[in-house]
């Protein structure tokens, strides 16, 4: 029986890139949502899958509330930085989204796109684990856990900037 060897890069999570000289970079996803229920209902499965793939997923809410549902999904809360931004494109946030699209240096993904016509429809098919954790997060947020669908639909832009394959597919 022969031994198999693996390149150390093969052992890295999908969201971690080798920079050389034993340095790595973790991809970051900053989420701006209206409230906990909005984030969990609209993108909880996708955010869980990204966090489990090694992404640093951080959520900022425009309305404070119970953070337990976000913690169930493995998400952090805190200040927004400018890399990959997913937002609920409610009225108070659409200006930020438009500015990020104009700068063109970041991938932008939104739910409830409203007036953001420059974005194309995309979807993420949830893993079985994402469905299970999203159901628990929905229940913790006081929402119906039976409302978990196998895919979440968004609108996206500037996807050509990604250095890793996207888990969002055009529809």
Nearest to 152 by CA among 168, 128, 132, 141: 168
In a domain, 3, yes or no: no
Q: How far is Cα 147 from Cα 4, in angstroms, rounded to an integer?
A: 44
Q: Return mean pLDDT, the chain.
A: 77
Task: Find the CATH number of the domain harbouring 33.
Answer: 3.40.50.10320
93-115 pLDDT, tens per residue? 667 667 766 776 677 788 887 76
125-164 pLDDT, tens per residue? 999 999 999 999 999 999 999 979 999 999 887 655 555 5
Domain around 115: 15-170
In a domain, 4, yes or no: no
Q: How far is Cα 87 from Cα 77, in angstroms, rounded to an integer?
A: 14
**pTM for this predicted structure:** 0.75
Q: Phi and psi for 36 in degrees, rounded to 5?
A: -60, -45
Domains contained in the chain, number: 1
13-57 pLDDT, tens per residue? 555 555 555 556 678 888 888 899 999 999 999 999 999 999 999
Q: Take residue 29 and report the two structure tokens written for it.
A: 């996803």
Looking at residue 167, the DSSP 8-state letter turns out to be S
In a domain, 5, yes or no: no
| Residue 78 banded pLDDT, cuts 50, 70, 90 | confident
Q: Is 80 exposed, middle or buried (0-12, 13-18, 19+ CB in 10 A)?
A: middle
pLDDT at 158: 60
H/E element holding 81?
none
Q: How far is Cα 54 from Cα 41, in angstroms, rounded to an integer?
A: 22
Is the pLDDT at 89 greater than 50? The verdict is no
Residue 78 CB contacts under 8 Å (≥ 6 apart), including other chains: 58, 60
Q: How far is Cα 28 from Cα 19, in angstroms, rounded to an integer?
A: 16
Place of tokens 């974005």: 119
In a domain, 2, yes or no: no
């Amino acid at each position: 029986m022969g031994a198999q060897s693996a390149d150390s890069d093969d052992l890295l999570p999908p969201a971690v890139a080798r920079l050389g000289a034993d340095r790595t970079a973790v991809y970051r996803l900053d989420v701006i949502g209206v409230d906990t229920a909005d984030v969990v209902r609209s993108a909880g499965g996708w955010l869980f899958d990204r966090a489990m793939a090694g992404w640093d997923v951080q959520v900022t809410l425009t309305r404070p509330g119970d953070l337990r549902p976000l913690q169930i999904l493995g998400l952090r809360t805190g200040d927004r930085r400018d890399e990959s931004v997913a937002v609920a494109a409610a009225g108070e946030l659409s200006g930020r989204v438009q500015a990020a699209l104009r700068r063109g240096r970041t991938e932008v993904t939104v739910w409830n796109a409203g007036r953001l016509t420059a974005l194309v429809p995309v979807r993420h098919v949830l893993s079985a684990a994402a469905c299970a954790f999203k159901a628990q997060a929905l229940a913790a947020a006081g929402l119906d856990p039976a409302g978990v669908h196998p895919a979440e639909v968004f609108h996206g832009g500037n996807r050509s900037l990604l250095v890793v394959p996207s888990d969002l597919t055009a529809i």
